[in-house]
Amino acid sequence: MNLSTKFQGHPYHIVSASPWPFFLSVVLFFNCLAATLYLHGYKHSSVFFGISFLGLLATMYLWFRDMSTEANIHGAHTKAVTKGLKIGFMLFLISETFLFASIFWAFFHSSLSPTFELGAVWPPVGIADKTIDPLEVPLLNTVILLTSGASLTYAHYSLIARNRENALKGLYMTIALSFLFLGGQAYEYWNAPFTISDSVYGASFYFATGLHGIHIIVGTILLLAATYNIYTYHLTNTHHNGFECGIYYWHFCDVVWLFLYLTIYIWGS
Domains of the chain, start order:
1-77 (1.10.287.70), 87-267 (1.20.120.80)
| pLDDT of amino acid 82 | 81
Asked if pLDDT for residue 66 goes beyond 90, the answer is: no
119-144 b/e (C-beta count within 10 Å ≥ 16 → b): eeebbbeebeeebbebeebbeebbeb
pLDDT of residue 103: 93
More confident: 5 or 126: 126
Between 73 and 212, the higher pLDDT residue: 212
**Mean pLDDT confidence for 221-241:** 88
CB 184 within 8 A of CB 144: yes
pLDDT at 5: 46
Three-state DSSP at 136 gives: coil
Q: Is the predicted pLDDT of residue 80 greater than 90, yes or no? A: no
* Cα–Cα distance for residue pair 45/119, rounded to 1 Å: 35
pLDDT for 10 equals 66
Q: pTM of the prediction? A: 0.86
The rounded distance, in Å, linking the Cα atoms of 148 and 128 is 32
- At position 65, the amino acid (one-letter code) is R
Mean pLDDT across 125-141: 87
What is the model's pLDDT at position 168?
96
Tell me the percentage of the chain whose pLDDT exceeds 90.
55
Asked whether residue 247 carries a pLDDT value surpassing 90, the answer given is yes
Using alpha carbons, list the distances in angstroms from residue 252 to 12, 69, 259.
28, 27, 11
pLDDT of residue 123: 82
